[in-house]
Amino acid sequence: MSGTARAFWIVAPGRGEIRSESLPDVAGDRVLVRTVFSGISRGTEALVFNGQVPSSEYERMRAPFQQGDFPGPVKYGYSAVGVVEDGPEVWRGRAVFCLHPHQERFVVPAESVVSLPEDVPATRAVLAANMETAVNAVWDAGIGPGDRVAVVGAGVIGSLVAWLAGRIPGTDVTLIDLQTRRERLAERLGVGFAAPGQAEGDCDVVVHASGSESGLASALALAGNQARVVEMSWYGTTRPAVPLGEAFHSRRLSLISSQVGQLPPERQPRWTYRRRLELALRLLTDPALDHLISGASSFENLAEDMPGLLGHSGDVLCHRIEYGHEK
């Protein structure tokens, strides 16, 4: 055995604790990873933490290396950055990313870890899973050169989508949020900003990532004739009202979902999940993306801190968990 490790578990809706567990042997192609950082993905993790995963989605919502079942007790999370301490010689000492729950050490197959590019610091690599989601959204949205794009919701996912779209030649990208202080974030990401009701409409593509009914209504209102609206928000057990009256039909709008759990159909013949994750990590070279990490705290205090971090505070973007290990 590789000893024991501590992990964060959701033991009941709204309550978590750190538990110790035994680690399996490091044999064959498996690696032992010592976690340096992990990231909290507020949208999905808030629904899981608060017991709001619909029973119909219990299986589809399972994360890699999840233990337990919804609504709990369950070990959940998917953004761990660490260093390989044991395993095949080719992996030892490498800084890696893994879709793994919050845990100080873990053993996984080597094929489940991806090496960090040399120019991507471990502190920023916790955004990799979010960047994967944003890449999928840009693919689903079909954003092209010269498009006028609105992204409603300046959380981590919306901001990453805006950042990606803003790097397509000729695009005019506006990030939209109720919190006007997010204008400074938009500037740092190189895109425009507007408050709801002040953004220019007639957009070619609109991406909604605010997780609110009002945000979805704004997204539909911003879409131009025969435009595509991409819904990225996941509402869990909540049933949002969708305003499909007024001009929705006369403008022949398309409302589609985007979700990271599946590759877009046109990509599936050539792309794998690993290839997409490797791309997400390569895209994290821009220091401007550090502004999406709004704070950090210790793994030791995660059980006490998690309720506040997953609350409705508009100040929290990606929160980084630090494990007290040298990088």
b/e map 17-40, b = 16+ CB within 10 Å:
ebbeeeeeebeeebbbbbbbbbbb
- The predicted pLDDT at position 140 comes to 97
- The predicted pLDDT at position 1 comes to 53
Report the distance separating Cα 190 and Cα 8, nearest Å: 36
Q: Is the pLDDT of residue 233 over 80?
A: yes
- The predicted pLDDT at position 325 comes to 58
CATH number of 130-257: 3.40.50.720
- The predicted pLDDT at position 327 comes to 45
Q: Is the pLDDT of residue 167 over 80?
A: yes
Query: For 169-221, how does the pLDDT look when each residue is reduced to its tens digit (9 = 90+)?
Result: 999 999 999 999 999 999 999 999 999 999 999 999 999 999 999 999 999 99
What's the pLDDT band for 56 if we cut at 50, 70, 90?
very high
What's the pLDDT band for 300 if we cut at 50, 70, 90?
very high
- The predicted pLDDT at position 313 comes to 57
- The predicted model gives 302-308 an average pLDDT of 94
Where helices occur in the chain by DSSP H, the ranges are 42-49, 122-125, 128-141, 156-165, 182-189, 213-222, 273-282, 302-309
- The predicted pLDDT at position 236 comes to 81
Mean pLDDT, the chain, as a whole number? 94
- The predicted model gives 95-102 an average pLDDT of 98
DSSP 103: B
So where are the chain's domains? 4-115+286-322, 130-257
pTM above 0.85, yes or no: yes
Q: Is the pLDDT of residue 113 over 60?
A: yes
CATH number of 4-115+286-322: 3.90.180.10
